[in-house]
Amino acid sequence: MDGQKGGLLLVMAHPDDESMGSGGLVLRHTRAGIPTYLIC
């Protein structure tokens, strides 16, 4: 995957699902500088 850009896209059904189910994942990726997007 050299030279490829990536990111994280989360699609959640309810506004609080990202904090209850994947908050750690979002935090880890944003701290690592990985573009992170959330759609509720």
**Cβ burial, residue 38 (10 Å; 0-12/13-18/19+):** middle
Domain assignment present for residue 34? The answer is yes
Domain assignment present for residue 31? The answer is yes
Q: pLDDT tens per residue, the chain (40 residues)? A: 556 678 999 888 887 777 777 888 889 999 999 999 988 8
Domain assignment present for residue 3? The answer is no
- The count of domains in the chain is 1
Domain assignment present for residue 26? The answer is yes
Beta strands per DSSP E along the chain: 8-11, 36-39
Domain assignment present for residue 1? The answer is no
Global pTM?
0.65
